[in-house]
Structure 1
Amino acid sequence: MSAEGELIAERIAALAAVSARPDALERVHLSPEHAAVNALVAPWFTEAGLAVRVDAAGNLCGRIEGRTPGLPALLLGSHFDTVPDAGRYDGMLGVLLALAAIRRLAPEARRLPFALEIVALSDEEGTRFGTALSGSRALAGTFDPAWWDVRDAEGVSYREAAVSFGLDPARIAEAGRAPHELVGYLETHIEQGPELLDQDRPLGVVSSIGAATRHTVVVTGKAGHAGGTPWARRRDALVSASEMILAGEAIAREAGALATVGTIRAFPGGVNVIPGRVEFSLDLRAESTALRESTLARIASAARAVGERRRVSVEWRENYRADAVVCAPALRAAVENGIAGATGAAVPAPIWSRAGHDGLAIAAITDVAMLFVRCGNDGISHHPDESVLAADIDTALDALTRTIETLAEHHRAP
């Protein structure tokens, strides 16, 4: 590993030590750990020649001017918040690679046809309040004021947490950026999957950030005695839900989408009582919005058919929706050029991101693109066993730097 790569690894270790738990990595939005990590990283931004600020949403931002002060900026970055019991590369690697690329380019920054900005976004995961992407939505000017009243598990509201952090909720709009201020958003991120690992490729380019939706499905039958209710009279909500879940899996597999049931609860919950009501979650993801919608319609139709046959009702409650974002062709071509230059090999086929990223929100104001870095350890992520090969950090840094240089040449062209 190069000296630059070693510095990135050291800083990732330092960030991983800033945690709310002694036994695991957990760092959530507007927490003391969020403040501590901003304070830790701000001097690193300053050392790289960046003017540093924390915006009205708690995002840590830095900027270095191009050949003329006030030029639109190429925005680089990722996020610093984590899921519970997290790995140390998700989000953090992207911020530190962006910082290292700016350090490399700093001597030439004044010749660039755009400014360079870096942002460590504050709430990509939504772990604390269930408000995923609130930091990037504030940046994009689409922050939902209803979030101020959402409370965490301890009963603290988003508004109260923001005030304790030192933010003024009345000024949240000041975090917003206008389209004319940016030339694009570029994020480097671990793949969070095994495709690059299986292909023995260190880097990949993202075609799109996939469409996702989350629902709570409520199946209502009729509770009854497990011994006294004959088969013909049963309206078992749990058996019905099980059949719906299996049908949904089969439909998603056939469509090339991903369907996951992460929670299921049966009521009233007695071992000798036929469940009269069941609630289960459905997380559905697909490469395109159209594919997500058609797959969801097929799953809902199959669930209705099960309900009619088993004499139970089915209610769908949508909790989350994000349409797919297609990565901008010019930015994507620059990423491909960066990968080819860094690896000396043909660029692998584009990968659609099964995970959501801040680009979903930032696409509302500017073009976005993503560079994926291979995950080790069978592609596992959101887990302490998350890993990245040391050599891939150097390769990713080289590719990101080349990508920025490619974009600069494109913007200089008449």
Structure 2
Amino acid sequence: MTVHAPATLVEPTRIDEDLAQLASLIDDTTPGYTRQALTDIDIAGRQWVLRRFRDAGLDSRIDAAGNVIGILPGTNPAAGTLMTGSHTDTVEGGGRFDGNVGVVAALEAVRTLRETGTTLTHDLMVVDFFAEEPNRFGLSCLGSRALMGHLSAADLNRRDEHGTRLGDALPGAGLNAVDMLSAAVETGTIRAFLELHIEQGPYLEAHGSQIGLVTSITGITRFRGLFSGRRDHAGTTPMSHRRDAGCAAAGTVLAIEAIASSHPDGRGTTGAVTFSPTAVNVITETATLTGEFRSPDLDWLADAASQLDVAAQAQASQRGVELQLDWVPSESPALMDTSLLDICAGATEDLGLHQSRLYSGAEHDAAIIAKHIPTAMIFIPSQDGRSHCPEEFTHAAEIVDGATVLLNALIRIDKAATAGRAR
């Protein structure tokens, strides 16, 4: 029996129109839909979001961390805030849905609330988080980290492969490193965070589910290996006399694959391998490898790191190559709030949509926020499980389903939090 009469979006076609406009704001010198953080095109994208927020009646600004923030005031300023949103930056050659869906769906939810005269007790904060995707400095979710007070001076001292500091790259995106470190909000006043996102995997499609409710978000450990061998002539140096850094790195790539394949929820990826020199007639003197492991199992992540250390050392040792293996501070798996998930489940059921519960193998701003604020994620299907590629696709009707669940879940969370304070 339906307890709540579900709200419907006033004009859902605006979601598709917004997604199309965002898809036009891309770097057309690269394939796919590229709008990477710390670029001029990303600045243009965030300015577009800022204008859309203001057009929707949100009190909007771009904060010191580059986040686009819009506030829809509630009826009780002392009640606190509900937060929703996602991100609009992309990976190079990525797709046009990814985090974009969560931002424009939240925007359409706000439009519906205002145009139907539906008021919330809590303020509603809608956020387009800055730099969610991994960047050349090896640190993702910059905006949400800063907002939660998780960004440090050491983070801003990270350097890319050319030696440029992250802090020195921020002015090019209109940001100041010192100000970014003081961009944290008072998390105690934020009652809940809800993020809508495409699944980026095949689970929902395989199970015939229109909505996914995320139980946890994967933990991640990232690493960088520097293999140092000896430069010699490729034609005159016997195979037994070589100290080939490239071969040591190549063996380690296969070890990463084997380690990750040993666990059903393990994932291991080599992001890049670079050789120097690159001449075909010179034995590789140095090789640099970057990669990551992912899993919702924190113990396995620690074990995978130990296995990789042993395997990489073995690859280097048998070739007389030196190895420096560095680990980027890891992200532990993030659990979603069960009470919020139950509210989302109720909203989904009342809308007559089939749902599944699953963990997320992708990284999200929600994982950072969940460390401080009760958090839930809603997934919608990705066709063929494809993402981070130009072929990434989710049907407009599926996006509307997700946005409608988001709208109804926010209304229910507002009522539940209000009732909880009244008791």
TM-score by length of 1: 0.87
**What is the deviation of 1:187?**
0.7
Q: Is 1:337 equivalent to 2:346 in the alignment?
A: yes
Residue of structure 1 in register with 2:12 after alignment: 5
1:363 pairs with 357, 362, 370, which one? 370
**What is the deviation of 1:321?**
2.7
Mapped to 2, the partners of 1:399 and 1:304 lie a distance apart of 50
8 Å Cα contact 1:28-1:128 kept in structure 2: no
Residue of structure 2 in register with 1:140 after alignment: 148
**What is the deviation of 1:407?**
1.8
8 Å Cα contact 1:30-1:58 kept in structure 2: no
1:321 pairs with 326, 330, 353, which one? 330
Q: Would the alpha carbon gap of residues 49 and 273 (structure 1) be closer, same or farther in structure 2, given more than 3 Å must change?
A: closer
Unpaired runs of at least 5, structure 1: none
Q: Is 1:263 equivalent to 2:272 in the alignment?
A: yes
Residue of structure 2 in register with 1:121 after alignment: 129
Matched residue SS, 2:44: helix
Q: Which amino acid aligns with 1:327?
A: M
8 Å Cα contact 2:56-2:111 kept in structure 1: yes
Q: Would the alpha carbon gap of residues 384 and 320 (structure 1) be closer, same or farther in structure 2, given more than 3 Å must change?
A: farther
**What is the deviation of 1:233?**
3.9
8 Å Cα contact 1:337-1:402 kept in structure 2: no
8 Å Cα contact 2:81-2:123 kept in structure 1: yes
Q: Which amino acid aligns with 1:204?
A: G
Q: Is 1:191 equivalent to 2:199 in the alignment?
A: yes
Q: Which amino acid aligns with 2:74?
A: G
Matched residue SS, 2:223: strand
- The size of the alignment, in residue pairs, is 410
After TM superposition, the structure 1 stretch with the greater mean CA deviation from structure 2, 303-312 or 65-74, is: 303-312
Q: Is 1:410 equivalent to 2:416 in the alignment?
A: yes
Mapped to 2, the partners of 1:226 and 1:48 lie a distance apart of 64
Identity among equivalent pairs (%): 31
8 Å Cα contact 2:199-2:381 kept in structure 1: yes
Matched residue SS, 2:262: helix
Q: Is 1:41 equivalent to 2:41 in the alignment?
A: no
1:397 pairs with 387, 399, 403, which one? 403
**Alignment RMSD:** 3.1
Q: Which amino acid aligns with 2:295?
A: A
Alignment of 1:155-174 (within 5 A): 167=175, 169-173=177-181
**What is the deviation of 1:353?**
1.7
8 Å Cα contact 1:31-1:161 kept in structure 2: no
Q: Deviations over 1:204-244 (max 9, x none)?
A: 11122211122122334445444544454444433333333
Matched residue SS, 2:74: coil
8 Å Cα contact 2:195-2:378 kept in structure 1: yes
Mapped to 2, the partners of 1:59 and 1:383 lie a distance apart of 24
Residue of structure 2 in register with 1:351 after alignment: 358
Matched residue SS, 2:98: coil
Alignment of 1:14-25 (within 5 A): 14-21=21-28, 25=33
Residue of structure 2 in register with 1:291 after alignment: 300
**What is the deviation of 1:270?**
4.0
Q: Which amino acid aligns with 2:359?
A: W
TM-score by length of 2: 0.85
Mapped to 2, the partners of 1:104 and 1:339 lie a distance apart of 18
Q: Which amino acid aligns with 2:11?
A: E
**What is the deviation of 1:157?**
6.9
Q: Which amino acid aligns with 2:368?
A: A
8 Å Cα contact 2:334-2:371 kept in structure 1: no
Unpaired runs of at least 5, structure 2: 1-7
Matched residue SS, 1:89: coil
Q: Is 1:100 equivalent to 2:108 in the alignment?
A: yes
Residue of structure 1 in register with 2:4 after alignment: none
Mapped to 1, the partners of 2:15 and 2:367 lie a distance apart of 26
Residue of structure 1 in register with 2:77 after alignment: 69
After TM superposition, the structure 1 stretch with the greater mean CA deviation from structure 2, 387-396 or 19-28, is: 19-28
Residue of structure 1 in register with 2:5 after alignment: none
8 Å Cα contact 1:86-1:384 kept in structure 2: yes
Residue of structure 1 in register with 2:210 after alignment: 202
Q: Deviations over 1:306-360 (max 9, x none)?
A: 4444544432122453222111222222222233333443x32x32222211123
